[in-house]
Amino acid sequence: RAPWRGIITEYTDRLPITAGMTPVTLQEGGTPLVPAPVLSARTGCDVYLKVEGLNPTGSFKDRGMTTAITVAAAQGAQAVICASTGNTSASAAAYAARAGLTCAVLVPKGKIAIGKLAQALVHGAKLLQVDGSFDDCLELARKLSVDYPVALVNSVNPDRIQGQKTAAFEIVDALGDAPDIHCLPVGNAGNITAYWMGYQEYFGLGLATRKPRMFGFQASGAAPIVDRAPVAHPQTIATAIRIGNPASWTLAEQARDESGGLIDKVTDREILAAYRTIARDEAVFGELGSSASVAGLLAAAADGRIPAGSRVVCTITGNGLKDPDWALSGAPAPTTVPVDAESAAAALGLA
C-alpha cells in the first residue's frame, strides 16, 4: 500500500494547484477517523472522531496551509502574514519555513496557548502580540497585506478553504458515504465552510449519495452567529475559538441552512466536560476548543435534536498537547515515592 503523500498529491484533481506549482507539504491529512464507542452508547448514535490533531503541526490548519503556501510561493510571494488564535500561526510558520518564506503572525496578547506560541517561534515566525482581540489582529493583517508585499494566509484566502475541504473527502472515502450529521467547533467559520464545500463536491461527483447536516458550535461567550451580532469582547476558556466577528459568517450560515443543520452555543463548562470525556472515555487528547464539537453533540442528543441511530462525525480540530494546562487542572498532583516496590504498590493501591 502506497504511503500517504499529503492532500495536494492525494486530491490533486480537486484542488486549485496547477502542474507548474511545487507542493509545499509536510504530508498533512490522512488523519484517523476513530469510532467513539462510549459517545455512541451515550447518544444512541454511531459516533466517529476525525482526529485532526494528528496533522503535522497538530491541527486541521495544515490542510489549508499546504495549499495556501504552495500557491503563495508559486506566485512569487516572499512573505506571508496571518492573524491567529494560535493554530493558524503554528501552521503558517511551519509551512513558510518549509517554503523558505518569511512568516509574520499577529496574535492576541496573552490569549493563545503556550504550545502554539512555541510552535510559531521555533519555526522562525516574526510574532507580534497585539493588545487586542483576534478580530483586531485579523483587521490589522488584512490592512498590512493590502499595503505591503505580504500574502494573507488566513481563511479569507480561498486556497485555505480549498485545502481544508479535503477532510470531508477523507471521511466519505473512509465511511463509504457521507455521515448524517457533522459536528464542528466554529470560530472564524472557515472550517464549517470548507467541510460543506467538500461534502457538496463529493455529492456532485456521485461519490456520496447524501450530504450531512452541518452542526456548528460556538462558545457561549463568543457566539456572534448564534446571537446574531458581533461580540466586541468575546470571552471563553477555549481560546482557539475566542472570536467575535467571524470572517466567514455568511458562508457558515449558508452551510447551516443549505444542509438543514444548526449553529448553536455551548458553555465553557460543557466544553471542559467534553474535553475530559473525549480523553478519558475515547482516549483522544484534543484541545479545549476542539471539544465544542462533542459538547454540542452531547447537548443536541440530550434534547432530542439528533435522531437515534444517526451516523455522526465530530471533528477534533487540534491536539491537546498544545495546551497542557487544561489537562493538569482538576487532575490530582502525582504522588512521589522512593525507589521501592512496596511503596509504589501501596501508592498505586495494588497492595
Least distance to ligand F0G, CB of residue 58, Å: 9
191 is in an annotated binding site: yes
Beta strands in the chain (DSSP E): 33-35, 46-51, 79-83, 102-108, 126-130, 151-152, 181-185, 213-219, 262-266, 311-316
Q: Report yes or no: 65 and 331 within 8 Å, Cβ to Cβ.
A: no
Least distance to ligand F0G, CB of residue 288, Å: 8
How far apart CA 156 and CA 138 sit, in angstroms, is: 10
Nearest to ligand F0G of 248, 277 (CB atom): 248
How far apart CA 40 and CA 281 sit, in angstroms, is: 11
154 is in an annotated binding site: no
Q: How far is CA 295 from CA 59, 78, 252, 284, 292, in A?
A: 19, 41, 19, 14, 5
Nearest to ligand F0G of 46, 58 (CB atom): 58
Q: Report yes or no: 49 and 314 within 8 Å, Cβ to Cβ.
A: yes
317 is in an annotated binding site: yes
Least distance to ligand F0G, CB of residue 81, Å: 12
What are the residues binding ligand F0G (CB under 6 A)?
A: 59, 61, 84-88, 155, 185-191, 240-241, 287, 289-290, 317-318
Nearest to ligand F0G of 46, 223 (CB atom): 223
Q: Report yes or no: 292 and 265 within 8 Å, Cβ to Cβ.
A: no
Least distance to ligand F0G, CB of residue 330, Å: 20
87 is in an annotated binding site: yes
Least distance to ligand F0G, CB of residue 216, Å: 8
Nearest to ligand F0G of 46, 300 (CB atom): 300
308 is in an annotated binding site: no
The three three-digit cell numbers of residue 291, written as one number: 471539544
Least distance to ligand F0G, CB of residue 3, Å: 26
Nearest to ligand F0G of 115, 190 (CB atom): 190
Nearest to ligand F0G of 46, 251 (CB atom): 251
18 is in an annotated binding site: no
CA neighbor of 60 nearest in space, from 305, 290, 288, 271 = 290
Binding site residue list for pyridoxal 5'-phosphate: 87, 187-191, 317
Binding site residue list: 87, 187-191, 317
